[in-house]
A and B are shown apart, each in its own frame.
Chain A
Amino acid sequence: MIEKITAYRFERLDETLSQLNREDCAIIAGGTDVMVLHKSRRGVPPKIPKPIVFINHLSELKQVYQHHKDLHIGACCTYSELLENPLIPFALKNAIKTIAAPAIRNRGTLGGNICNASPAGDMLPLLYVYNAKLLLRSVNGDRMVAISDFIQGPRQVQRFHNEMVTEIILPFVLGDSHVVFEKVGNRNADTIAKVSFAGFVRISKDRIDDIRFAFGAVGPTMVRSIDIEKKLIGKTIPLADADIAEIVAAFDKIIRPIDDQRSTAAYRKTVALHLLRYFLSMKQYQPN
Chain B
Amino acid sequence: MNLKDISTSVPKKDHKGKVSGQLPYISDVKVENMVYGVLYRSPIAYGKIISIQLPNLPDGYEAVGAEHIPGPNYVKIIKEDQPIFANEWVNYIGEPILMLTGKDLDILYSLLNEVKVEFEEHQAIYTLDEAIKQKSVSLVLASYEFGESLENISAIEQGAHQIIEEEYDTGYQEHVYLEPQGMLAVYKDDEIVVQGSMQCLYYIKNALLSALACGDDEVRVVQSPTGGGFGGKEDYPSMMACHVAVAARAVKKSVMLVFDRSEDMLVTTKRHPAKLKYRTALDKEGNILSMYVDIFLDGGANVGLSSVVLQRALLNSAGVYKIPHFHAKGYVLKTNTVPNGAFRGFGAPQSFAGIESHIGHLSKLAKIDPLAYKRKYLVKQGDPTITKGKFRDPILVEEMIEDVLNVSEYKKKKEDFQRLNQQNQRYKKGIGTSLFLHGCGFTGSGERDHIKAKVKLVKSKDDQVSLKISNSDMGQGILTTLCKIVAKELNLPFEDILYPYPDTKEVPDSGPTVASRTTMIVGKLLERAAKKLKNQWQTGVEQEVVEHYVHREMIPWDEKTFTGDAYPAYSWGVNIVEVEVDTLTGNLKLEKVYGNYEVGKVIDERIMKGQIDGGLAQGLAYGYLEKMTSKQGRIQQKSISDYGPPTSLDIVSIESKVFDNPYADGPYGAKGAGELTLIGGAPAVQAAIEDALHTSFQQIPITPEVIIESLWMKEGEEG
Contact = CB atoms under 8 A, between A and B. Distances in A.
Given A187-B644, A189-B648, A264-B705, A248 B625 contact: no
Interface stretch (A61-69, A141-149, A211-219, A272-280): A272-280
A182 B627 CA distance: 22
B650 interface: yes
Contacts of B708: 267, 270-271
A13 B586 CA distance: 46
B105 A44 contact: yes
Contacts of A277: 718
10 contacts: A1-B107, A101-B647, A184-B704, A186-B704, A191-B644, A248-B718, A261-B642, A262-B642, A267-B586, A278-B426
B637 interface: yes
B193 to A, nearest CB: 22
A43 B36 contact: yes
A1 B587 CA distance: 48
B650 A187 contact: yes
A41 B625 contact: no
A104 B660 CA distance: 44
Chain B, interface residues (CB within 8 Å), range: 35 or more
B649 A41 contact: no
Interface string A11-44: 0000000000000000000000000000011111
Given A186-B627, A189-B650, A266-B713, 11 more contacts: A1-B106, A41-B260, A42-B105, A43-B258, A186-B703, A187-B650, A252-B718, A261-B637, A270-B718, A273-B718, A274-B584
B636 A261 contact: yes
A192 interface: yes
A282 to B, nearest CB: 11
Interface string A136-162: 000000000000000000000000000
Contacts of B506: none
B104 interface: yes
Nearest to B640: A190
Query: Which 6 pairs across A and B sit closest by C-beta, in order of nearness?
Result: A42-B260, A188-B649, A186-B644, A43-B105, A261-B636, A274-B584
A246 to B, nearest CB: 13
Nearest to B703: A186
A278 B427 CA distance: 12
A99 to B, nearest CB: 12
A80 interface: no
A134 B552 CA distance: 77
A139 B317 CA distance: 73
Given A44-B105, A44-B106, A188-B649, A274 B585 contact: yes
B240 to A, nearest CB: 14
Interface of B: 36, 104-107, 109, 258-260, 263, 426, 584-587, 625, 627, 629, 636-637, 640-642, 644-650, 703-705, 708-709, 712-713, 717-718
A263 interface: yes
Contacts of A278: 426, 584
A275 B585 contact: yes
A264 to B, nearest CB: 6
Given A274-B584, A278-B426, A278-B584, A188 B650 contact: yes
A271 B636 contact: no
Contacts of B105: 41-44
Contacts of B649: 187-189
A188 B651 CA distance: 9
B300 to A, nearest CB: 19
Nearest to A3: B106
A190 B705 CA distance: 19
Nearest to A194: B704
A67 to B, nearest CB: 36
A35 to B, nearest CB: 14
Contacts of A266: 705, 709, 713
Interface residues of A, number: 33
Contacts of B709: 266-267
Given A40-B106, A42-B258, A184 B646 contact: no
Contacts of B259: 42
B109 A44 contact: yes
A190 B586 contact: no
A190 B36 CA distance: 32
Contacts of B703: 186
A252 B716 CA distance: 14
A229 B103 CA distance: 61
Interface string A42-77: 111000000000000000000000000000000000
Interface in A253-270: 261-264, 266-267, 270
Interface in A153-183: 182
B88 to A, nearest CB: 28
A191 B637 contact: no
Contacts of A188: 647, 649-650
Given A1-B104, A1-B106, A261-B629, A184 B647 contact: no
A267 B627 CA distance: 15
Nearest to A44: B106
Given A1-B106, A192-B641, A270 B650 contact: no
Nearest to A41: B109
B319 to A, nearest CB: 29
B108 to A, nearest CB: 9
Contacts of A101: 647
Contacts of B627: 186
A182 B703 CA distance: 18
Contacts of A1: 104, 106-107
Nearest to B649: A188
B135 to A, nearest CB: 30
A42 B265 CA distance: 14
A187 B426 contact: no
Nearest to B625: A187
Contacts of A184: 585, 587, 704
A18 to B, nearest CB: 34
B53 to A, nearest CB: 22
A36 to B, nearest CB: 10
A267 B586 CA distance: 9
Contacts of A261: 629, 636-637, 642
A182 to B, nearest CB: 8
A69 B586 CA distance: 40
Given A44-B105, A186-B625, A275 B36 contact: no
B22 to A, nearest CB: 21
A189 B650 CA distance: 8
A263 B647 CA distance: 19
Contacts of B584: 271, 274-275, 278
Nearest to A269: B717
A273 B650 CA distance: 25
A191 B639 CA distance: 11
A267 B704 contact: yes
B111 to A, nearest CB: 13
Nearest to B712: A270
A252 B717 CA distance: 10
Nearest to A277: B718
B426 A190 contact: no
Given A270-B717, A275-B585, A187 B106 contact: no
Which residue among A1, A44, A270 has the maximum number of chain B CB atoms within 10 Å of its CB? Answer: A270
A187 to B, nearest CB: 5
A184 B641 CA distance: 14
Contacts of B713: 266, 270
Contacts of B642: 186, 192, 261-262
A192 B627 CA distance: 14
A263 B642 CA distance: 10
A186 B650 CA distance: 10
A187 B629 CA distance: 17
